[in-house]
Each structure stands twice: as structure tokens, then as C-alpha cells.
Structure 1
Amino acid sequence: MDIDLRKLRYFVAVAEELHFGRAAARLHIAQPVLSRQISALETELHARLFRRDRRSTELTPAGRQLLDDAPPLLAAAGALLRRVQRAGLDRPRFAVGFMPGITVTDAVRALSGRHPDLAVDVVRTSYRDQARIVLDGRVDVCFVRTPVDQRGLQLRPLFSEPRVAVVPAGHRLAGKASVAIADLGRERLLQDPDAVPEWRDLPAHPDDPPRRPRPVLDSVEEKLEYVAADEGLIVLPLSTAAFYTRPDIVHIPIEDIGPGHVHLAWAAGRGSDLIAEFAELAADCYA
């Protein structure tokens, strides 16, 4: 049996929204059409994917399993399409993703020098998207910062660097030469706590008020705006903090947490000669 990728995309939308109306709006299709497509998928799979009543929609065990397995399959299909389209261009292309603060110029220039007919594109990404753009084929390789979800990726370590706390210029810690992670424990962190597990794992102080929910912020620029407005702090690799120099924020070395690590990532099992060559060039540049 062949899986219809369109139906699979429809399923993922409903599974993420847990609401057929919102999923239909997200997909720009009519709700009855969406319902028919999901029913057809359930028939093809011989499994019920959702439990529905007038009040709620929830996944069945089969639905939860499909939601685990579907996104990588859709990403792989998208990656295949993008790579085939790039291969069909008059001029071959190679795309390199990078995180803010990481300079990729030397490695890109070295690859272009070896392959004058190759068009090398650079694509800026974010902490949330850095693995996804490799898996869905938007880039061939990406300079990623750990922690990163390594499923489906192959990584090559490149370099490490200190991490710093970024606070408003008028903050109580702003004049210090360095701080300990415990000094930051009562602060509001404006990023995913999994990105700073040392802060996440600090014990709660009994006198602390409940922590305010953090805003959903995708870019470093958005987070720095909140820092400057005294809404909280963030922890960044030194190169990223230094890249975003501005007078209303300062960064302070953190004494007792490990460095940040940068790796080159590409899709596991996709070992092209060009990827291997670029990995060697990148390693040489950061040696």
C-alpha cells in the first residue's frame, strides 16, 4: 500500500490543532473535504486515528504513532523534491545554513574557489529551525548549536565557545565581571529552558513567586528587545552576544556552565562528496 502524502499532511495538521475547523483553515480547504480525506486515510491504514465528539478531538494510540512517524517522512519527501529541483538547474547549487553569530564566509569562499561553477547559497536560521532546514532539504549542511535534536542528522564537531548572560544595562548584575548560574536562578528566562539546562535544573526558591510564562520568541532580535525592556534575560554563546552589540544591554560571562558547541550537520545517510569536502573545509577553518 502506498501512503498519500497529501492525506498525511492533512492528518498532521489535524493532529497538531486537535480541531478540524482550525486545521481546515490552516490548510485552506473546506472542513467537509478535510473530514473525508481523514476518513479515507483511516480506511487505507485500517486504523482509527482520532476520537471525536461535539466537544473535543483527540488522538488514538494509532494516531499518536502516526504523528511520531509522519513528520520525518514528509520532511524527507520535501527534501527529495528540493534536491531534485536544484539538481535540474543549469548551474549546480549548494546551500549552507548558519546560526546568528557564526561566520561561514571562509568555508563558503574555500568551497567556491574549488568549484567555480557551483553556486553556494547561505541561509540564516534559528535555534528552533536549525535541524528542520537540513531534514526538509532547504540546505545541504547547517552550522548548528547544541543542544539540537540529532534524530536524522549526522554531526561533525567544529568549535566551542563560552556562554554569557545578556541583561539590561541597568540590571543589578550588569557591572559584575562574571556571575554564577545560581545568580540567575530567580530571573525570568526568555528562551526555551532546554537550551539552558543548567538554569532549568536549579532548585526553586521557596520565596519565589510563580514564574511568569515566557513569550513565544523565535529570533535573537526579538529576545533582545524583551531583555532591553527589562522583561528577563537570555543566555547566548559569546559570538552571538558580541554580534548584537547595543547600548541598552550588556553580556556577562557565566563562570560555572559549560561552553556552547557548534557542529556541522547534514542529513544522515546522505554522504555526498561535496558535503564531505565542505565538512573538511569547515573543520580546517575552525581548527
Structure 2
Amino acid sequence: MDTDEDGRRNGMDVDLRKLRYFVAVAEELHFGRAAQRLHIAQPALSRQVRALEDDLSVALFLRDRRGTVLTPAGARLLDEAGPLLAAAEATVRRVTAAAADTPVFTIGFMPGITVTPAVRALSARHPGLSVRLLRTGWEDQVEVLRDGRADVSIVRLPIDQKGLRVRPLFTEPRVAVLPADHPLAGKSALTIADLAGDHLLQDPDAVPEWRDIAQELRTGERPEVPPIHSVEEKLELVARGAGVCVIPLSTATFYTRPDVVALTVEDLGPGQVCLAWTATRLSRLIHDFADLADSLAPPATA
């Protein structure tokens, strides 16, 4: 094992600022664009990345006239850097919150999920507690835990459960949302195969049944769709005929509009709603809320 003059293993002390700089270059694969993104001079960025390579005693990038690519070590560091930076950010947020005069407990929740009963019960159990709510989406329902924005998150599966504790709460039906003028809009129920020719306006991994069945049946190119950050954006795309989506029935009921229809899909299983929190956290408030959240009733489906 290589050690430095202090007897420590080389690379054990990683500068988080250098790591952030590395991530920017690794994502852009271009030092100039990464420097613009970070609002620093390109030579300074290059020096910081070289210093990180020296700290770790590995090459992170291959640079030549054709461009910049990650080495195997660089690719591994990129995989590891995200959770490490998020954990550091979460620590800062929690330490800052701990210094506040009034303790704060933040609950993330997905659209269509009603958390009021559990919030009221937690506030009654801890009268001096400030309870805050944070609306999340498919992309960040777990990230808010990893970076410390939320203490717990009420999530819809599937999610990446690495490093989390996940407690099932309830299931609810899911429906397909189509434009009101879709040829199938008048049917009382559909199958996934009926929709195989339509473009799914979400990550196929969010709808495993669709991924496993419909994608095998579809042929041809699918239109490009911009990133979607909210239910409202998704429904706008459905309404204008860009594709269809699968959402929980409670969400479809909440976002009722005349230019889309929500239909039952016979071979589409229910969605699972769970409570998630970081596995290493031992907060009494988290466990109190977890006990209270167990009593959350499924949303009304009538």
C-alpha cells in the first residue's frame, strides 16, 4: 500500500471542490464548456483537475486533438462522485438545520398523495416542530433524501433503493392518459398492446409492464420529446398528441382537464406508494413519522 509522508494512504483526502470540478468536466467532456458552467477560467479548471489526478495517482481523462474522454478510473469516479457530493451537501443542510431555534422536519411527497393526516399527527406529537412539505417528481423523489432537502419522502416505486430504508404504505390503480381525440379514447378499458403504437411520455422503467410488453410490439422511430419536469407538462404533451402516459388514478383525478381522458388498462398493475428515508439516519422524528404514515389511507378512487 502506497503512503505519503504522514503514513496515510494516497488519495484518502479528496477535496470536494476539485471533485465538483471533475464532475463538470466528466459530464461535459469538454474543458471549455465545463469552465463556463462553473464560471471559472479554463486554465484554472485544468489545474484543479490535474491536481485531483495527482491526489489520486490516476489519470481521469484522456485528452487529444479529437477531444476528451474518461479513463476507466474516471468513469468509476464519476459513478462514485454523485452520492459523495450529495452526502456532503446533506450534511451541511442538516447541521445548519440543527442550529436553528425551531427544529424543522421536511417531508417530500409525489403529486396526488395526501399527507395531511400524518402531518397533523406528527405536529400534535411534537408541538414545537416546524413541519415543511416539499413536492417532488419522478426525477428527484429520492434525490431530495440523498442531498438533505427532505428528511423523509413519500415515493412511488420503482426507485433506486440503494442506501435507503423503504416502508410500503399502500397501492393504488394506475391509468393511461390519452388525448381526447385519440382513436381509443371512447373505449371503457384498454390493454398495453392496444397502446403499443403510441409514444410513452416517461421513462419506460417507471412502467415495467409497458417496457416488457409494449416495446416488443412497437416498430419504427419514436418522436423526440423534451425533458418533462411536472405532471402539468406531461398532460400538455398528451393533449397536443405527442404521446400517452401512465399515472396514478389519484393524480389523474386531481388534474382533470377536458382535452385528455384517463382509461383503465387491464394488464397494468397497481402502483406502490412507500415511505423512504436514508438508512443511516436514526432520528426519532423519522421513526415517529414512519409509524404515523402507516395509517395513511389510499386516495379515493371513486
Tell me the TM-score normalized by structure 2.
0.92
Instruction: Write the letter of the residue equivalent to 1:258.
Output: G
Q: Residue 145 of structure 2: which of 116, 119, 134 is its match?
A: 134
Q: Is the 8 A contact 1:190 1:215 kept in 2?
A: no
Q: Could you say which residue in structure 2 is the equivalent of 1:197?
A: 208
Instruction: Write the letter of the residue equivalent to 1:63.
Output: G
Return closer, same or farther for 1:205/1:157 CA change in 2, 3 Å cut-off. closer
Q: How far did 1:212 drift?
A: 1.9
Q: Residue 10 of structure 1: which of 13, 16, 21 is its match?
A: 21
Q: Residue 108 of structure 2: which of 97, 107, 110 is its match?
A: 97
Q: How far did 1:204 drift?
A: 4.0
Measure, in 2, the Cα distance between the counterparts of 1:236 and 1:182.
Answer: 17
Q: Could you say which residue in structure 2 is the equivalent of 1:247?
A: 258
Deviation track 1:8-28 (CA, whole Å, cap 9, x = no partner) reads 111111111111111111111
Q: How far did 1:205 drift?
A: 4.4
Q: Residue 82 of structure 1: which of 73, 86, 93 is its match?
A: 93
Measure, in 2, the Cα distance between the counterparts of 1:219 and 1:28.
Answer: 29
Q: Residue 266 of structure 1: which of 272, 277, 287 is its match?
A: 277
Q: Point out where structure 1 has 5 or more consecutive residues left out of the alignment.
A: none
Q: Could you say which residue in structure 2 is the equivalent of 1:47?
A: 58
Q: Could you say which residue in structure 2 is the equivalent of 1:23?
A: 34
Measure, in 2, the Cα distance between the counterparts of 1:205 and 1:101.
Answer: 31
Q: Could you say which residue in structure 1 is the equivalent of 2:9?
A: none
Q: How far did 1:116 drift?
A: 1.2
Equivalent residues in 2 for 1:221-232 (5 A)? Answer: 221-232=232-243
Q: Secondary structure at the match of 2:295?
A: helix
Equivalent residues in 2 for 1:76-225 (5 A)? Answer: 76-202=87-213, 203-205=215-217, 208-225=219-236
Deviation track 1:253-277 (CA, whole Å, cap 9, x = no partner) reads 1111211011001011112111000
Tell me the TM-score normalized by structure 1.
0.97
1:32 aligns with 2:43: yes
Measure, in 2, the Cα distance between the counterparts of 1:224 and 1:285.
Answer: 27
Q: How far did 1:188 drift?
A: 0.9
Q: Is the 8 A contact 2:193 2:217 kept in 1?
A: no
Deviation track 1:201-233 (CA, whole Å, cap 9, x = no partner) reads 235448x43222332212111111010101111
Measure, in 1, the Cα distance between the counterparts of 2:39 and 2:276.
Answer: 34
Measure, in 2, the Cα distance between the counterparts of 1:262 and 1:40.
Answer: 45
Q: Point out where structure 2 has 5 or more consecutive residues left out of the alignment.
A: 1-11
Deviation track 1:125-148 (CA, whole Å, cap 9, x = no partner) reads 110111101010000000011111
